[in-house]
Structure 1
Amino acid sequence: MPGQVENPREQKVVPLHKPRGSRKNWLYAVLAVLVVGFCVYEIFRINYRPVETEIALDATVEDAVTVEGFVVRDESYIRAEAAGTLVPLVTDGHRVAGGDAVAVVFSSEDAARNYTQLQQVREDIAYFESLQNKLGASTADVDVLEEQVYSAAQSFVLATRTGTPDTLASYAQDVCEAITSRQLSTGTQIDPSEKLASLRAQLQTLEAASGGYTTITADNPGYYISHVDGYEGVLPYADIADASGDTLAAALRAEPASQDALQSCMGKLVDAFDWYIVCVLDADTAAGVASGDTLTVEFPLTSAEAVRATVEAVKPTSDGSTALVLSCNWMNQQYASLRTEQVRLVFDEITGLRVNNRAIREVEGEQGVYVVSGNLIEFKKIEIAYSDSEYSVCVTPTNENGYPLGGYVERYDEIIVEGTDLYDGKILG
């Protein structure tokens, strides 16, 4: 109102300074930034290393070459005056005695197929009869039976990679038998009588339709092979080590005998245990090979496993190459089917630690590398056993007692590949 005097107690007071609390908040923020920055710096300082490193791990390299090989065995034909379809009775590569039945010959493919089915039905009947005998049997040790199932299944899977149809069928049968035994042990009801009745009826039908056949027997003991390829006489088995280099090389280009000449052949027998591989190498590759050496032979395009072979002969050829004769003494179905094959000859195998060539240095006449040990740099010696353009394989020498010498690079060492001003004992900061 006009003329009214304001109450001095109601007048607003304006502070001359900011509140003390806001200044504290500002100080806390600065301190927090400093603490975080210091922590980041310490983490970076601890983890930062001004060097590039690689871990020393195991590595294996092979001195090997891949060439064509020709297989020579002590083979003799099994001849018989029979024509028709041959059905082997034994597996290729199986050892037989003189006079053993090795095959049967039928006049037609239908008769041969009927015989094969007849044999299969007989095997099935034997299986289900044995299953019938197991009925009522039980065991509390189910874990053992489960382990048999797993083992049989694992063997079957492995056989699918390297096996043949014959071996796969055998492994599949093992799986079925293991599973059946497991089911019976837990009280599962299985009645094979209906299946047996069906198989026996099928057996009678096949037996009624079966015809005559000619039985082929082995003339002498040996390893039976059901097929012939016409290369059996290309090189003389008994004198192969005395053959010239050109004669050995010619076997790789040889033509097989005509089919007319092989019509009466019902398979063959391999008499001797040893068999040979003939191959031709360039002179430089064969320079370090000598008679008596042993090496590993692989057959990469077949299911045959690698074998150890002995060098029986090293013969020069007229074109400057070198022919080798290698002897082996393993025999099975896979080896029995080999003739002209791609072979991989492994002369040597070196196992050591893989070291980047960029890390290798020479210090006071010693070849070695720098490794990170904690926060220190340490120089360790190396002994190179193999080297290419990028990496070396290093081995550790041993003393007279066979113990590894100290001071050499070790497995899992952190090897410095890139860095400057490196020396033994330097502290990484």
Structure 2
Amino acid sequence: MKPKKLLYRVFAFISPFLIIFYLIMQLSTRFSQGMSTEYVLKAEMEETIDASAYIMRNETLLYTQESGVFYNLGSEGQKGSARTPVVAVYTDSPELNIQDRIRSIEEKIKALEASSVDTSYMVADISSLDNSIYENILYIKKNLSAGKTLLALQKRSSLLTMMNKRQLMVKEVAGFEYQIQQLKTEKDTLYHSLVAQKDTVYASKSGYFSSQIDGYESVFAPSALETMTVGGFYDALNQKTSTQGVAGKIITDYIWYVLCPVSKENSYDFKEENEYNIVFPYSDSISLPGKLTKKIAESGQENLLLIFEMTSVPNDFDFTRAQSVQLQKATYKGYRIQKNAIRYVDGKEGVYILAGNTVRFRTIHRLYESGGYCIVIAITKDSEHYADSLHLHDTVLIGGKDLYDGKTIT
């Protein structure tokens, strides 16, 4: 082989490696001083404060003259009309076990009767059903892990119904008529074994039934807000009433209130009649809007009371009287950048960006900062400061030394 042809082939073989080596050296030179880049994107951040919250609702207590054990005839939060039986009073706890078994049987019967399927279903229907089963299992697992057993159990019947439907679809069973009849027979037998109830408690008004009694039903009634003071609120925390003879309660209004004691400093940004979002960690961190109807201040008190009116009542919401929440004071929208990218040049605050291989300084105006990031104003094109300001999709330089406007990075 001729020497020239041999050299050509050797060069052709090693040239890709030389190019890669060159690029690595270029990048190494560019970022040898711990410098990295980040694209400018639109974002928003919530400014929040942690607060203690106290739930206030119109709650009517239900009493019984009989002592014994209480059995709820309906589920927690179930809506009903006046004179609906809501609680049965028995002498002994074994009766509760029988009632629990009867309720379990009724749920199974209901699930089996709801498990019939259309014979014209398709494969896609099975796939959709499998997805629903999977989502229900995840929901139950999540709530059990969080210790929320009641929320997990509420999905039990729907999950059973879906699993039964799947059995019918894939021909694992022909039907559930025999099982339903067996369960009805067992239910009748259990009913006949029950001793007479000592008392039946009826709903005095239409509304939502709850068995969760804490002794603050009359203390933290919405009517108390008319004359409440800061000092009166703290006194009320020690004024629980007796729950003797109370079998449950009826919540009679969809409007409820959240009372939050906050420091004067944290109260400044909250304006009456404005709406704010409140995050409830006890209810999977759901965010609900509430209108600030009242700010209560009192001379000599360090804290103020913020009163929010709520009208949303989500399913499975946790109405524990006292709980922690986050109050969202404001929402800031603009460009998000890292705080450690900010520089000061000639008394101006800004960042260095990379335009091609040239460093440029762009001014910024901070709106809010949290967790190592800032939201800065997105300057519009019609502004006289647009040319010198940070733009969407700019490449911001983070770190690096000896940077200046116009520097070429090779």
- Shorter-chain TM range is 0.7 to 0.9
Counterpart of 1:86 in structure 2 is 70
Counterpart of 1:229 in structure 2 is 214
Contact 1:92–1:332 at 8 Å: present in 2 too?
no
Counterpart of 1:305 in structure 2 is 286
Please give the alpha-carbon distance, in whole angstroms, between the structure 2 residues aligned to 1:364 and 1:279.
45
> How much does 1:360 deviate?
2.6
Counterpart of 2:329 in structure 1 is 347
> How much does 1:323 deviate?
1.8
Structure 1 residue identity aligned to 2:205: N
For structure 1, the residue ranges without an aligned partner over 5 or more in a row are 1-20
> How much does 1:230 deviate?
0.9
> How much does 1:240 deviate?
0.2
Counterpart of 1:147 in structure 2 is 128
Percent same amino acid among aligned pairs? 18
Check if 1:295 corresponds to 2:280: no
Check if 1:76 corresponds to 2:60: yes
Counterpart of 1:207 in structure 2 is 191
Contact 2:230–2:301 at 8 Å: present in 1 too?
no
Would the alpha carbon gap of residues 407 and 108 (structure 1) be closer, same or farther in structure 2, given more than 3 Å must change? farther
Would the alpha carbon gap of residues 336 and 165 (structure 1) be closer, same or farther in structure 2, given more than 3 Å must change? closer
Check if 1:50 corresponds to 2:35: no
Q: Which one is further off, 332-341 or 60-69?
A: 332-341
Please give the alpha-carbon distance, in whole angstroms, between the structure 2 residues aligned to 1:356 and 1:191.
62
Counterpart of 1:326 in structure 2 is 308
Please give the alpha-carbon distance, in whole angstroms, between the structure 1 residues aligned to 2:401 and 2:169.
68
Check if 1:278 corresponds to 2:255: no
- Name the count of aligned residue pairs: 398
Counterpart of 1:268 in structure 2 is 249
Instruction: For 1:124-143, list aligned pairs within 5 A.
Output: 124-129=108-113, 138-139=119-120, 141-143=122-124
Give the TM-score of the pair, scaled to structure 1. 0.78
Computing the radius of gyration from Cα coordinates, the structure with the larger value is 1
Please give the alpha-carbon distance, in whole angstroms, between the structure 2 residues aligned to 1:389 and 1:170.
37
Contact 1:282–1:320 at 8 Å: present in 2 too?
yes
Contact 1:225–1:336 at 8 Å: present in 2 too?
no
Give the TM-score of the pair, scaled to structure 2. 0.81
Contact 1:222–1:269 at 8 Å: present in 2 too?
yes
Instruction: For 1:386-397, list aligned pairs within 5 A.
Output: 386-387=368-369, 390-397=372-379
Contact 1:298–1:345 at 8 Å: present in 2 too?
yes
Would the alpha carbon gap of residues 77 and 159 (structure 1) be closer, same or farther in structure 2, given more than 3 Å must change? same
Counterpart of 1:120 in structure 2 is 104
Contact 1:71–1:338 at 8 Å: present in 2 too?
yes
Instruction: Give per-residue Cα distances to partners, 1:128-166, cap 9 Å, x unaligned.
Output: 4565x66xx633512123212212321341244358545
Please, which of 229, 234, 238 is the counterpart of residue 254 of structure 1? Answer: 238
Would the alpha carbon gap of residues 42 and 180 (structure 1) be closer, same or farther in structure 2, given more than 3 Å must change? same
Please give the alpha-carbon distance, in whole angstroms, between the structure 1 residues aligned to 2:108 and 2:18.
81
- Please state whether the residue corresponding to 1:385 is helix, strand or coil: strand
Please, which of 397, 405, 409 is the counterpart of residue 416 of structure 1? Answer: 397
Would the alpha carbon gap of residues 398 and 156 (structure 1) be closer, same or farther in structure 2, given more than 3 Å must change? farther
Counterpart of 1:216 in structure 2 is 201
Counterpart of 1:107 in structure 2 is 91
Structure 2 residue identity aligned to 1:168: A
- Please state whether the residue corresponding to 2:30 is helix, strand or coil: coil
Structure 2 residue identity aligned to 1:84: G
Please give the alpha-carbon distance, in whole angstroms, between the structure 2 residues aligned to 1:41 and 1:200.
80
Instruction: For 1:51-66, list aligned pairs within 5 A.
Output: 52-56=35-39, 60-66=44-50
Would the alpha carbon gap of residues 342 and 375 (structure 1) be closer, same or farther in structure 2, given more than 3 Å must change? same
Please give the alpha-carbon distance, in whole angstroms, between the structure 1 residues aligned to 2:156 and 2:208.
26
- Please state whether the residue corresponding to 2:267 is helix, strand or coil: coil
Would the alpha carbon gap of residues 194 and 43 (structure 1) be closer, same or farther in structure 2, given more than 3 Å must change? same
Contact 2:211–2:248 at 8 Å: present in 1 too?
yes
Structure 2 residue identity aligned to 1:372: L
Contact 2:342–2:350 at 8 Å: present in 1 too?
yes
Would the alpha carbon gap of residues 47 and 208 (structure 1) be closer, same or farther in structure 2, given more than 3 Å must change? same
Contact 2:143–2:152 at 8 Å: present in 1 too?
no
Please give the alpha-carbon distance, in whole angstroms, between the structure 2 residues aligned to 1:35 and 1:145.
57
- Please state whether the residue corresponding to 2:94 is helix, strand or coil: helix
Structure 2 residue identity aligned to 1:50: R
Instruction: Give per-residue Cα distances to partners, 1:258-284, cap 9 Å, x unaligned.
Output: 3xxx22222112223222222221211
Contact 1:368–1:382 at 8 Å: present in 2 too?
yes
Structure 1 residue identity aligned to 2:362: K
Contact 1:241–1:313 at 8 Å: present in 2 too?
no
Aligned Cα root-mean-square deviation (Å): 3.8
> How much does 1:67 deviate?
2.6
> How much does 1:414 deviate?
2.4
Please give the alpha-carbon distance, in whole angstroms, between the structure 1 residues aligned to 2:251 and 2:232.
22
Structure 2 residue identity aligned to 1:244: T
Would the alpha carbon gap of residues 33 and 329 (structure 1) be closer, same or farther in structure 2, given more than 3 Å must change? closer
Please give the alpha-carbon distance, in whole angstroms, between the structure 2 residues aligned to 1:384 and 1:58.
14
Check if 1:161 corresponds to 2:142: yes
